Chains A and B, each alone.
Chain A
């Protein structure tokens, strides 16, 4: 497939000699307009790649923070149509920051796989992370996505052993997402040394960038993980920050966007200093 915004972004950062800061928020949390304002503010605060969660009623792999964010979005009326609209609106002002949609298969399957890929491509989506679509199901969405020029980003986990890694990597494109812990999003803090070894193990088998997530919350952790990884994913900490800024009715306040950009700026500092000590 042709190069995507994801490929170009990671190539540019490699030239800069630093890892990417990948930020996750749920589309439509706390509402459509407020969510759009947050997404628009992310690149300026230092986010290199944006993961936009497609809310789902049954997020089996997510911890309490992301679960709650998804419910807030659904309660505020978020749908797949609105999520794609949000990407389109973001693209009007930003044609370089990659957007990866992350979530579960059913809302896509319900929308219709073919229609979804077309509409996502048209809206300006660059990649997909679908938690419950393993390589065994590649013919359903992964291969068709590659055909329309959307990266399908695979999760590798601590349980992905040497025998299985090639299958996981086979049709992956854009980057590989290494899940740093066995668990749900936002739980235990990852051990930077173990993560470093795992990233090395994956990089021995692929030329793709490897981003690391699940459990990274602070600038310090981002710095430590970023020493070995090509990207650091932060999700639950941002979603928690959104929650903390809301009013009693879960509506956005004047603090919502600034509190997110403050956190993202700090994380970006962490990521940018990740390689300095080694240099």
Chain B
């Protein structure tokens, strides 16, 4: 393909690579499926009817566009740059995940698939998948680490109400990567009937590209909304990164606006000096897992490590391959925020803005709290408030030593 020299937005190449990252490292059983998925995705992208159908659902079912909100009291409190929240927590199902599941369920239907499987960590993607499966009358199986089933009970119950079958995965530490392994085992066993609805911008090509494109509505809207509100681009955009789907969705439309500083905030857990974090970009090294080459938390022998984060949505030991590329070429700055910093941001946002954030975007907010005071008052930060915190109140109560 022709690489456009002046763009950061041309990836992936025809083999699914962003620089050295990405690709299609999957078992042969899955390879024909991945290729037919790519074919279906390429056809869907070029079909105005697909875009039109998605647009109607996004508006009437998911509630897009999500507002861009000026967080006035937080701005005052921090005393620096103006802070805007992109309110993707107001979407149907409470997070950005619905943007992707709506797109992929339409694709699955086009492909004639009759059964949907998904993995989930915090349960947000599981809920979003169970939701669209209910909407389109397709059976849904969600693989979820047993540890996560325990710490995300409200979402487990929501998925069950929506008609999904939840399979707790006890392998490994029972978190997101183990759920993804098990989903891949299901897929390899049920290749004919089943569509694997991956929730983050990772996995084999074309998933990273496809999920990014479905999530890019976040950045496109934010750009237009800020242009209307302020008549200009932001100076910085900030999002949390686990697998990285909300972040790539916000970042991608801004990549070529080089005046915009871009920050991805990783789960720093209990600090990067120990093992209890999930900062694959800051503390990992390149490897191959779940169908793509990307930065991974791994030991010296190439065994994948279990990440830790207070947030079940961020404790994935990998990261979407485009983020790995954006790190290496220096376009995006990836920084950690610790569990404690995220908890503090969670409480501050709730008290000052009346918005209970999910623990995932609380990490992004923790970085905004560091960044805003260093910037001028006429500068602007846009942060993706990618999920609401209702699901986290029990966990937060536990961390704060409160009984509810």
**In the assembled complex, which residues on chain A have CB atoms less than 8 Å from the CB atom of B44?**
none
A134 at the interface (CB under 8 A from B): yes
A184 at the interface (CB under 8 A from B): yes
Give the dominant DSSP class at A's interface: loop
Bound complex: CA of A154 vs CA of B184, how far in Å? 20
A81 to chain B, nearest CB (A): 8
**Contact indicator per residue, chain A 99-130, by CB within 8 Å of chain B (1) or not (0):** 00000111111110000000000000000000
- Interface of chain A residues 128 through 174 with chain B (CB within 8 A): 131-134, 136-137, 154-161, 164, 168
Bound complex: CA of A164 vs CA of B26, how far in Å? 15
B302 to chain A, nearest CB (A): 3
- Interface of chain B residues 46 through 94 with chain A (CB within 8 A): none
**In the assembled complex, which residues on chain A have CB atoms less than 8 Å from the CB atom of B293?**
109
Bound complex: CA of A107 vs CA of B26, how far in Å? 15
**In the assembled complex, which residues on chain B have CB atoms less than 8 Å from the CB atom of A61?**
27, 29, 184-185, 188
A183 at the interface (CB under 8 A from B): yes
Q: Which residue of B lies closest to A132 (CB)?
A: B25
Residues B28 and A154 in contact, CB atoms below 8 Å apart: yes
Among A18-26, A52-60, A217-225, A226-234, the stretch that binds chain B is A52-60
B62 to chain A, nearest CB (A): 31
B147 at the interface (CB under 8 A from A): no
Q: Which listed residue, A56, A67, A104, A154, touches B171 by the CB 8 Å rule?
A: A67
**How big is the B interface, by class?**
35 or more
Residues A58 and B27 in contact, CB atoms below 8 Å apart: no
**In the assembled complex, which residues on chain A have CB atoms less than 8 Å from the CB atom of B302?**
56, 80, 106-111
Q: Which listed residue, A58, A132, A160, touches B32 by the CB 8 Å rule?
A: A160
Residues B303 and A134 in contact, CB atoms below 8 Å apart: no
Residues A131 and B177 in contact, CB atoms below 8 Å apart: no
**Contact indicator per residue, chain B 298-313, by CB within 8 Å of chain A (1) or not (0):** 1011111100000000
A54 to chain B, nearest CB (A): 9
B333 at the interface (CB under 8 A from A): no
Residues A132 and B31 in contact, CB atoms below 8 Å apart: no
Residues B185 and A132 in contact, CB atoms below 8 Å apart: no
**In the assembled complex, which residues on chain A have CB atoms less than 8 Å from the CB atom of B24?**
134, 136-137
**In the assembled complex, which residues on chain B have CB atoms less than 8 Å from the CB atom of A107?**
301-303
A-B contact pairs, 16 of them (CB 8 A): A57-B305, A59-B181, A60-B185, A105-B288, A106-B287, A109-B293, A110-B302, A132-B288, A134-B24, A137-B25, A158-B29, A159-B31, A182-B192, A183-B188, A184-B185, A184-B188
Having A106-B287, A132-B288, A134-B31, one finds 17 other A-B pairs with CB under 8 Å, namely A58-B177, A58-B290, A60-B188, A74-B303, A80-B302, A106-B289, A109-B286, A109-B288, A132-B26, A134-B26, A154-B28, A157-B29, A159-B29, A159-B33, A159-B191, A160-B32, A182-B189
Listed in ascending order, the chain A residues whose CB lies under 8 Å from chain B are 56-61, 63, 67, 74, 79-81, 104-111, 131-134, 136-137, 154-161, 164, 168, 179, 182-184, 187
